[in-house]
């Protein structure tokens, strides 16, 4: 069955709501409007206003309400329109949700899922377009996921809701219209990275909205006789260093693609782990393809220039191979 990333997310939400009375969805415009990216469209009519709850425009307030509901035994799914707006709720995530199981000595937990759109490419300018996944991946006590395929969009929510700790799911806004066949094996764990394309000459690591670009770059490289492996990180905290290291040991070269800024990026962390784990397996220094160190521009040609693109990934791989 061929469906969109958006519909896969909607199916996952519907299944969670139908299977567990403790689950409810809350956030700005998730009800009557159907979600800012139409993911929750139709769920209000199906499950009612007690389960699909529109909230005031206060991320600090409704994320905090989600923390309280989780502490009280519910399974809240809290939607924030965009990662930029989630900064208003960082106190609830960093100083409450992520700490409470540790600070209570395991007496309580916060089984909450926090969903948010991330990424650029839609000409929404700087306040709606940044990729701050690395900020969340820095925080102990939470799990951070970045589904990049229709199957992962469908399969990651259920295990996230079963996790006793908060789980943050980043949905790249450029992926909502992505369509693919949803096969029977769409269920997945939320602990392992995934090899999306095997190869031998270099490993390209990507996640979220950069995965399609990495796969496109791999196709272009294959046309010129360069066979690269593409690994979807997909679990940003905790990083699956075993899968990362296995890939590097096969190919002996690594390129990390990250829509975050280069300075302090998730790409930097991945490269540090590679250096710590398999330094002597490398035949060349690892490379990064990141966003330019500027606020994401509004103008389309500048936005494209600021972001990782397939051509930049191709160039980085060729530089590693000296071709």
Pair type for strands 2-4 and 179-181: antiparallel
CA 133, 135, 137, 142 dihedral sign is: negative
For residues 46 and 227, give the distance between their C-alpha atoms in angstroms, rounded to a whole number. 48
Structure tokens at 308: 């990782």
- For the question of residue 128 being annotated catalytic, the response is yes
Which of 59, 229, 259, 303 is the catalytic position? 59
User: What would you report as the CA-atom Rg of the chain, rounded to the nearest whole angstrom?
Assistant: 19
Give the count of alpha carbons within 13 A of 210, CB side only: 31
For residues 309 and 89, give the distance between their C-alpha atoms in angstroms, rounded to a whole number. 31
Which of 128, 130, 229, 303 is the catalytic position? 128
Region of 181 please: left (phi>0), alpha (psi -120 to 50) or beta: beta
| Contact partners, residue 275, CB within 8 Å, separation at least 6 | 282, 286
Overall size of the chain counted in residues: 323
138: cis peptide before it, omega within 30°? no
Burial of 147: CB neighbours in 10 Å, binned 0-12, 13-18, 19+: buried
CA neighbor of 258 nearest in space, from 231, 298, 222: 231
Rounded to 10 degrees, the C-alpha dihedral 305/309/310/312 comes to 60
Pair type for strands 143-145 and 235-237: antiparallel
- Can you name the residues that pair with 116 across neighbouring β-strands? 80, 170
Q: Is 314 helix (H, G, I), strand (E, B) or coil?
A: helix
- For the question of residue 59 being annotated catalytic, the response is yes
For residues 182 and 150, give the distance between their C-alpha atoms in angstroms, rounded to a whole number. 7
* Active site residue ranges: 59, 128
């Amino acid at each position: 069955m061929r469906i969109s990333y958006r519909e896969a997310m909607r199916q996952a939400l519907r299944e969670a709501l139908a299977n567990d009375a403790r689950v409810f969805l809350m956030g700005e415009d998730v009800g009557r409007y159907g979600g800012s990216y139409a993911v929750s469209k139709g769920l209000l009519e199906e499950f009612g206003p007690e389960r699909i709850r529109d909230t005031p425009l206060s991320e600090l307030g409704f994320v905090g309400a989600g923390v309280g509901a989780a502490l009280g035994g519910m399974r809240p799914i809290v939607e924030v329109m965009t990662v930029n707006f989630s900064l208003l709720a960082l106190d609830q995530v960093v100083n409450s949700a992520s700490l409470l199981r540790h600070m209570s000595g395991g007496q309580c937990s916060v089984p909450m899922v926090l969903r948010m759109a991330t990424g650029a490419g839609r000409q929404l300018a700087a306040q709606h377009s940044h990729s701050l996944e690395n900020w969340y991946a820095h925080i102990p006590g939470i799990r951070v996921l970045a589904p990049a395929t229709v199957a992962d969009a469908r399969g990651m929510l259920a295990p996230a809701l079963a996790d006793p700790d908060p789980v943050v799911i980043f949905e790249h806004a450029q992926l909502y219209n992505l369509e693919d066949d949803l096969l029977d094996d769409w269920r997945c764990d939320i602990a392992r990275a995934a090899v999306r394309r095997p190869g031998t000459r270099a490993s390209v690591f990507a996640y979220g909205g950069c995965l399609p670009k990495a796969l496109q770059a791999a196709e272009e490289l294959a046309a010129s006789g360069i066979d690269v492996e593409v690994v979807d990180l997909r679990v940003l905290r905790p990083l699956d260093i075993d899968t990362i290291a296995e890939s590097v040991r096969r190919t002996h070269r690594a390129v990390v693609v990250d829509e975050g800024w280069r300075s302090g990026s998730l790409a930097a962390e991945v490269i540090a782990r590679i250096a710590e784990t398999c330094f002597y397996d490398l035949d060349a220094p690892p490379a990064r393809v990141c966003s330019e160190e500027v606020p994401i521009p509004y103008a389309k040609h500048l936005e494209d220039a600021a972001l990782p693109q397939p051509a930049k990934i191709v160039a980085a791989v060729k530089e590693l191979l000296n071709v």
